[in-house]
Amino acid sequence: MNTLDRLIRSKGISRYGIFASVGEGSFFPDGTEDSSGYVIDERGRVFSYWTAWDHERGCLAFDEWKRVRDPHDQDPEYLAARKAAGLA
Q: What is the mean pLDDT of residues 38-45?
A: 96
Q: What is the mean pLDDT of residues 47-58?
A: 96
Count structural domains, the chain.
Answer: 1
Confidence label for 1 from pLDDT (cuts 50, 70 and 90): low
The answer on pLDDT for 79 being more than 70 is yes
Task: Count Cα neighbours of 39 within 13 Å in the Cβ-side half-sphere.
Answer: 26
By DSSP bridging, strand 33-41 and strand 16-27 are antiparallel
Among 47, 56, 45, smallest CA distance to 4 is for: 47
Please state the pTM of the whole predicted model: 0.89
Supply the pLDDT for residue 16: 97
pLDDT per residue as tens digits for the range 8-31: 999 999 999 999 999 989 999 999
The answer on pLDDT for 73 being more than 90 is no
Segments forming the whole domain that contains residue 35: 3-84
Supply the pLDDT for residue 69: 92
